[in-house]
Structure 1
Amino acid sequence: MQGRLVYIFEKTFVIFCVVLAWELIPRFNLVDSFIIPPFSNVATSLVKMLRSGELLIHLGASMQRSLAGLMLAILIGVPLGVTMGCIGRVERMMDPLLQIMRNTSVLAMFPIFILVFGLGETSKIAIIFWGALWPTLINSLDGVKNIEPILIKSARSMGVSSFTLFRKVVIPAITPSILTGIRLSAGISIIILVAAEMVGANKGLGFLIFYEEQKYEVPRMYAGIVTISLFGLFVNTMLVRLENYLTRWKERTSQ
């Protein structure tokens, strides 16, 4: 019990200090309370928006866009990365283009996506997909390339088929790397989401933040920022739990 309390304290102490400072600094006029309102004002606005259902509408729209872009990135990035890792010629042919594309600013590509797909949902999902693709693809590629050769040789020496080798050796070995890439992609998808929703959207957390800033409804703007932070934290926590579940075999092999 004591260990559990210590764990909770370690996880929440810094956040508590930040929230306390956020509340007290504007109260003592150390900063302009219009620019940074007390946390209690932001929390009050957040609760009101939750009760009215307004916040849930914006959150739902953002979740749909970010998850759609992320799922597309996973469905394309993982198979392509694994293929490049397994077939050296494919990697050599794709690598120059890959390096150019992944080092091009995602937001710099946004005007191109708007020109091609318009201001609707497609352009927003497409830019999220584009930004989320590269961490998943590269981690999948690295996962295959970093498989211990002894694992492959041992399986081959036992006469297993190529399909069994891939299912029993390759997939478990690359799963941690793939899941790490997905976590990185999820974080990037939420970052890009905010920028994408500030252009040509009428709902979503990015739209909410930009719209309330334009109206000088600063507490509501901060409520949107807090919401998207909590959304990102929730997604990351779920992915960490999924990773721990799918790689629980690592704990057994280390014992």
Structure 2
Amino acid sequence: MAVLDKTVSVPLGGTRTNALSLPLGLLNKVFKRTIAIIVLLAVWEVIPRIGLVDRTFFPPFSVDIKAWWEMLVSGELGTHFQSSIARSLAGFILAIAAAIPLGLLIGWYPKLSELLTPVLELFRNTAALALLPVFILILGIGETSKIAIVFYACSWPILLNTISGVKNVDPLLIKSAKSMGLGPLRLFQKVILPASVPTIFTGIRLAGASSILVLVAAEMVGAKAGLGYLINYTQFNFQIPQMFAGIITISLLGLLFNQLLVTLERRFSSWKTQSHE
């Protein structure tokens, strides 16, 4: 009986250990991911309070987050956020719709690549913000020019990564598919396109960051709403906590946007994960 009691007690103890280790492991994982942000916010809070910087120009984080909350409750922040996200998504989606098909064609057809490469090299090295005055002169100071500048900035990382993804598909995969009798269209559909997805999504994530950064700069010129306008307006009116509230909103928007794209990438690349299991 003593032997049986010991036998039963071992799995029960092991069950308790496993039950405890699961939340502890989760907490440890969350802590590792957030420790750098926690330290940054702590430094942001302490430095102005101990006088290392002038708190008039660099308020503590608690003051800035209070201003952020007040603007959120009043609806002012929501108005600017909606204006920015609408412009950003419009240019971003148009860039995806145009750049991915073009990149697939250029990467798949060598002659088309030779024809267009000189033009691509010319424009890829021209900064989007350097062309902002041109977009404003041609398209006006309204919504069209802002969406167009976002479209231009987003197109290049998506286009170049799509081309790279198609051209760098493993030649062994292509040879194996051809040996199984796949024609050009089926080869492209079953091998080239799936193998290019991770690289394409790298370009999409880079474009997602560009869509926000370029738009904020564009909104500082001639806009009447938007996060860029908010930051510029509050700076000129010496509303420093409100200015930092706009900056915090942009950071949160970029973080959420990137996380959404990472989730989509995992979904579309699930075949790759399953192949390694």
Do both share a fold (TM > 0.5)?
Answer: yes
Structure 1: any 5+ residue segments left out of the alignment? none
Aligned positions, number: 255
Which residue number in structure 1 is paired with residue 91 of structure 2? 69
Which residue number in structure 1 is paired with residue 211 of structure 2? 189
Give the deviation of 1:227 after TM superposition. Answer: 0.2
Give the deviation of 1:189 after TM superposition. Answer: 1.0
Q: Distance in 1 between matches of 2:67 and 2:140?
A: 33
What is the 5 A alignment of 1:50-69?
Answer: 50-69=72-91
Q: Deviations over 1:185-231 (max 9, x none)?
A: 01011110110000111100000000000100000000000000000
Q: Which has the larger radius of gyration?
A: 2
Which residue number in structure 2 is paired with residue 155 of structure 1? 177
2:125 aligned with 1:100, yes or no? no
SS in 1 for 2:181: coil
Q: State which drifts further: 91-100 or 224-233.
A: 91-100
Give the deviation of 1:160 after TM superposition. Answer: 2.4
Q: Distance in 2 between matches of 1:242 and 1:182?
A: 11
Q: Give TM-score scaled by structure 2 length.
A: 0.90
SS in 2 for 1:98: helix
2:134 aligned with 1:112, yes or no? yes
Which residue number in structure 2 is paired with residue 7 of structure 1? 29
2:102 aligned with 1:80, yes or no? yes
Which residue number in structure 1 is paired with residue 190 of structure 2? 168
Which residue number in structure 1 is paired with residue 70 of structure 2? 48
Q: Match of 1:122, as an amino acid? A: T
Q: Match of 2:123, as an amino acid? A: M
Q: Match of 2:219, as an amino acid? A: E
Q: Distance in 2 between matches of 1:72 and 1:222?
A: 30
Alignment partner for residue 58 of structure 2, among 36, 43, 66?
A: 36
Q: Distance in 2 between matches of 1:153 and 1:180?
A: 26
Structure 2: any 5+ residue segments left out of the alignment? 1-22
Identity percentage of aligned residues: 48
Q: Give TM-score scaled by structure 1 length.
A: 0.98
Q: Deviations over 1:130-161 (max 9, x none)?
A: 11110000000000000112212211222223
Q: Distance in 2 between matches of 1:211 and 1:172?
A: 46
SS in 2 for 1:44: helix
Q: Give the ranges of 4+ consecutive aligned residues of structure 1 lying more than 4 Å apart after TM superposition.
A: none
The alignment's C-alpha RMSD in Å is 0.9
Q: Distance in 2 between matches of 1:231 and 1:151?
A: 39
Q: Distance in 1 between matches of 2:115 and 2:181?
A: 32
Q: Distance in 2 between matches of 1:153 and 1:105?
A: 39
Q: Match of 1:20, as an amino acid? A: A
Which residue number in structure 1 is paired with residue 269 of structure 2? 247
